[in-house]
Each structure stands twice: as C-alpha cells, then as structure tokens.
Amino acid sequence: MNSLEPESSTFRPRHLSPSSASTFRQCPRRWRLRYIDKLPDPKGEPAVLGTFVHEILEELLSLEAKDRSIDAAREIARQLWIRILDDEDFIALGFSESEVKAFMWKAWRLVERYFVLEDPAEVEVVRAEQKLSVEIGGVPFFGIVDLTERVSSGLRVVDYKTGKAPRSRYLDDKLSQVWLYAAALAEEDFDVSEVRLMYLTSGSIDRPLDSMAVASAVEGHRQTWDRLCQAIDTDNFSYKTGPLCNWCPYLDHCPEGAAEAERRYGPRD
C-alpha cells in the first residue's frame, strides 16, 4: 500500500503499513525491490488463502446478526469461489485440479473452525474491513482493520489469522500490529478497550488495552520509518539473509539471497 512521491529532491512513502514495515525489517533490499523498483511480488498460497477466508468472513458479518448461519457462510463461499477461480493471484499458483480442491477444502475448514470459536450472530459489528489512513507517532500510517466490535468493556479490535499461532517468543511482534490499529483508531475517535488475534487454526489471543504496549508499538513503527527514510536518502538498502530467502521472489536480483537459499536447501530447479 505504499507509493513513492517526490518531495523536492527527497522521496518518501505516502504511508507505512504494518506489512510494509515488516518487509523492511525483514530485508531492506526486498523492500526496495518491491516498493521502489516495483518488481512483481506474487502472493503465495497462504496469502491467497487468507484473503479468500477474510472475504468470506467480511461478507458474513455484513449480514443481519440473525442471518449469520453456517449455511449463509457456505453460500457466500460458493459465490466468492466462482470469482477466485478467475483471480490472477490464484491462477498464478498454478494448481492442479486436485490442488484446487485441496485449497477449497482448506479454506472451508477454516470457516467452519470460525463457527467453533464464536457465534457470529452474537458479534456486534461496529466496522469491518475499516481502512485507516492517519498519522501516529509522526508517521503516516495505513492499515485495514478486520473488525471492530462492541463488547462489554467497550470496543475490541480483531485481526483474523489463517496461519499457525506464534510461539510465545514471537507473540509480542504479532500483537504489535493490533496495538498499532488501536493507536490509529484512537486518531479516529474510537476508544479501543481490548484487542484480539483470532487464529482460526487454534483459538484467540485476547489482551486488554495496554497503553505501554501501544506506545511501544508506535515507537517501534517510528523507528522503522526513520531507518527507512535514511535508507532512501542514502540509497543504502542492506540485505538480510536467512531461512526465508528461499521463498523470496527476488532471488534473481539478489546474489547473496540466492547463495543463502542454495546453501540451506540446495540448487534451485
């Protein structure tokens, strides 16, 4: 969601989203290749799956509470499935017929799991898929909040996750995204009282609003912004190698990453 615009002789992203900030922290070179050089960054299966499931839940929660049944979700999934078959990101996965069926059932099992985790008829929706474009901590922020719902304590921010729940040592990093959403919503006069990471594979992680955690997330986002601006100004986007290099779409543009992937996993086909 970032684009670069000239400001005198200096370029700055219009926004810094949690996902683009994460990309920069993971590997500044990858950030440059994606957001400045604008090389294609095709979505993998987890991202396409996540988008599909999110769309099903978004449409389900847009219904009147009494209509949010498993049958309604099945009909929504059926209608969206017709569209996804023509989606270029899905087509790019190059699935065989059996893999397409496996993908479809994987998505539906996640939706079924959602109904185990909560009764959507009891969700009091305030906003769904709310786009936020505000300034927090001096940084132009952009994000899309899956759900803001009214609960007994006030307002809860919910972020749906279709992947595995993180190990405890990585939890703070995952929570930082919803803390940033809480800070951004405060700029829009939404007073968040708690946050939730809903892992459809395993369950929910709930936290009451923690002002110190929010401040820490905002400060971390600002530090990432500062490092990003410095990289732009000096045109110095360093690389970071690691196990994720093998799945980077830019290996042909990164000899260090290609060497790391080969060292870990052997020559590429």
Average pLDDT (34-47) is 93
φ/ψ of residue 6, rounded to 5:
-70, 140
Provide the whole-model pTM.
Answer: 0.91
The label of the residue with tokens 């709930």 reads 206
pLDDT (tens digit per residue) in 61-91:
999 999 999 999 999 999 999 999 999 999 9
Q: Quote the longest CA-to-CA distance of the chain.
A: 57
pLDDT (tens digit per residue) in 99-116:
999 999 999 999 999 999
Q: Which pLDDT value is given to residue 6?
A: 41
What the block records as the tokens of 258 is: 């290609």
Q: Which pLDDT value is given to residue 7?
A: 41
**Where do the H-state alpha helices sit in the chain?**
18-26, 28-35, 45-61, 70-84, 88-91, 97-117, 168-187, 211-234, 255-265
- The fold for domain 124-221 equals Lambda Exonuclease; Chain A (3.90.320)
pLDDT (tens digit per residue) in 8-38:
347 889 999 999 999 999 999 999 999 999 9
Contacts of 55 (CB under 8 A, 6+ apart): 80
